[in-house]
Amino acid sequence: MTREPIVISKTLLALPRFAKTLIVIMVDASLCVVSVWLSFYLRLGEFGTFSTSQLTVVFLSIFLVLPIYLFCGVYRSIFRYGDSNSLLLIIRSTIIYSVPFASVVMFIGIAETPRTIGIIQPLLLSLFVCSARLTAKLWLGSMHIHPKYEKGITTALIYGAGSSGQQLASAMHSSDGIDILGFLDDDDSLQGQFIGQLKVHDPDELETLVAQLKIDTILLALPRINRSKRNEIIQKLKNFKVSVRTIPSFVEIAGGNFSVSEVVDLEIDDLLGRDAITPKQELLEKYSTNSVVMVTGAGGSIGSELCRQIIALEPKCLLLIDHSEFSLYHIHSELETISKQSKIIPLLVSVQDKCKISTIISAWKPNIIYHAAAYKHVPLVEHNFLEGVKNNIFGTLNVVQSAIEHGIKNLVLISTDKAVRPTSVMGASKRISEMILQALSKEQTKCNLSMVRFGNVLGSSGSVVPKFREQIRNGGPLTITHPDIERFFMTIPEASQLVIQAGAMAKGGDVFVLDMGKPVKIIELARRMIQLSGLTVKTESNPNGDIEIQIGSLRPGEKLFEELLISNDSETTLHNRIIRAKESHLDWERLVDEISRLQSAIEKNEVGLARRIISGLVPDFQVKNKIVDYYYNQSSNNT
């Protein structure tokens, strides 16, 4: 094939879908003109210029055939992948067209027009249109140019030929960016059938389909299936070099949060690879429905999801506490669109401001306080030692003491698995926060104090999932600090529901943890995300892979493995996946003296002394690295 036809083909294939459809419509209109002109020649036996009557027939043909072809779906077909079914559709559509056309020409009549034109022209038109489609298939198909290589064009199969899949295919029809080439479905009765112009294939044929049709994306349209079946399908799909995307769950669609036509990245739960933990509704509602609820750190990852879960339970009033104006504005605006029944009050204040926190609690008298405000990014807190301690330890102390002072019945602290045998300042500060609640629970009975400890939250700020997604979008590499590092994972809704349910089961001084199953290796999560993006991992054995995984070194305070329990002494609760831990702690008299010493060290900017005090309070605090606090090191360099 010469260079000119190749250039023309590439130019045509690079056009947006709308432009391609417009060209085909113009071709069909031209074929109407040619078929009318030729039908007159066959009937009269002589060529001639178009008369007024012949022009009338031309306009009638174009006026009828284009809307009928459009309505019947002729223009949804992709020529270079067309088959006998596409040709049959053209023939059926032309037969439909021939009925009104022949009725006008043969029975109503057009001046100087033989009645047999009503039969000859539709036959010729059908022949010409089918021939044009076959020519386009042979010409463009031979180029081996596929939408996958066009600008922004994605070639996809829809997994799920049910109503959601059909709605998705219909919605994607008008998309310039996605070409839907068929369905996949596990239902034997649907396989081999056609829905519209799209064939339903057996998922076992996927390897062949990917190769033949150059498929690069699978769209999951399975909003109703359970998590186990969904994970099974995703596990199967990751063996192929295709990107896997999904439509929202049926619950989200039914709730009006999403449209079935919205295609999104795989849910965090899909990456987790396990069934989501089902909450107990009676525990969720106990202290939230028709109550005054206060959430500190309301604009953070956990705090904001807590607020979403709580607002769905229809509290009387929800107090949003955060020191970040942007975060507070964002969550307040979102919640106002969700609920019109509950009063939502945003309060711009830091938990380090004890006077203001006490005033707020005194004014609103919340039934329960969820304390989620904390600095949680391990390296950042390590480099800003004193600020991390002030916020995490003394911020917690301010909120807890104010709650006790004003007779608040319940307070739940959001803690972390990094508090167990901590190697970081962040983890140690959270362990001391836990100890404050444990000690004060023995000193008073006014406020029911409890804490919830869980592992890494997928999708939160600082989580590996958004970081990996961004790195994949940028072409890699994916960066991991150690090949053996592993973490317990849960989703943000699971974590938030756990917090609410734990508060409902608290007896005082409780440490609740979630039975999170087996920990996940970060490197395996990275590989899974690369594969589900339709890419391959670049390794020594696969140098032509798409994305490389680079191994670095552990950051200051980072652990290889996380734990959820300090001791093995624990008991079950009303929820079979929530455990109540029994752990030792200091009494309040000893603890308050050490906290006073710590506060004095902070006021004097004595980082070394503060770290020694924390090490004394938390014997398991594994101090393995030198002090990396920026202020401390800069001050040391200047002396």
**What amino acid positions are annotated as catalytic residues?**
418
Q: How many CB atoms sit inside 10 A of residue 574's CB? A: 11
Q: How many whole angstroms separate alpha carbon 636 and alpha carbon 639?
A: 5
Q: What are the φ and ψ backbone dihedral angles of 477, each rounded to 5 degrees? A: -80, 165
Question: Edge-to-edge strands of the sheet including 537-538?
Answer: 478-480, 547-551, 537-538
Q: What are the φ and ψ backbone dihedral angles of 626, each rounded to 5 degrees? A: -70, 165
- DSSP conformation letters of 138-172: HHHHTTT--GGGSTT-EEEEEE--SHHHHHHHHHH
Q: How many whole angstroms separate alpha carbon 41 and alpha carbon 247?
A: 55
DSSP H/E element including 414:
strand 410-416
Question: Cα 571–573–577 angle (5° rounding)?
Answer: 95
**109: which DSSP letter?**
-
Q: How far is CA 42 from CA 33, 51, 110, 353, in A?
A: 14, 16, 18, 95
Provide the residue type at 596 as one letter. S
User: Which residue, 250, 157, 239, 139, is CA-closest to 198?
Assistant: 157
Residue 584, both tokens: 């030792």
Q: How far is CA 33 from CA 22, 62, 115, 315, 477, in A?
A: 17, 8, 18, 70, 58
Q: Tell me if residue 472 falls in helix, strand or coil.
A: helix
> Strand 489-491 to strand 456-458: parallel, antiparallel, or no bridges (unpaired)?
parallel
Inter-residue contact 233 to 150 (CB < 8 Å): no
Q: What are the φ and ψ backbone dihedral angles of 323, each rounded to 5 degrees? A: -95, -5
Q: How far is CA 131 from CA 65, 135, 236, in A?
A: 17, 6, 40
- DSSP conformation letters of 186-218: S-TTTTT-EETTEEEE-GGGHHHHHHHHT--EE
Q: How many whole angstroms separate alpha carbon 527 and alpha carbon 40?
A: 66
Residue 270, both tokens: 């899909």
Please report where in the chains the tokens 């047999």 appear, as a residue. 116
Provide the residue type at 196 as one letter. G
Q: Give the bridge partners for 319, in sequence order.
A: 294, 345
In angstroms, how far is the first alpha carbon of the chain from the final one?
77
**626: which DSSP letter?**
-
DSSP H helices in 191-323: 206-213, 227-237, 250-254, 268-272, 281-285, 301-312
Residue 451, both tokens: 């804490």
Q: Tell me if residue 188 falls in helix, strand or coil.
A: coil
Inter-residue contact 440 to 404 (CB < 8 Å): yes
Q: How many whole angstroms separate alpha carbon 548 and alpha carbon 541?
A: 12
Please report where in the chains the tokens 């010469």 appear, as a residue. 2
Q: How many whole angstroms separate alpha carbon 92 and alpha carbon 251?
A: 40
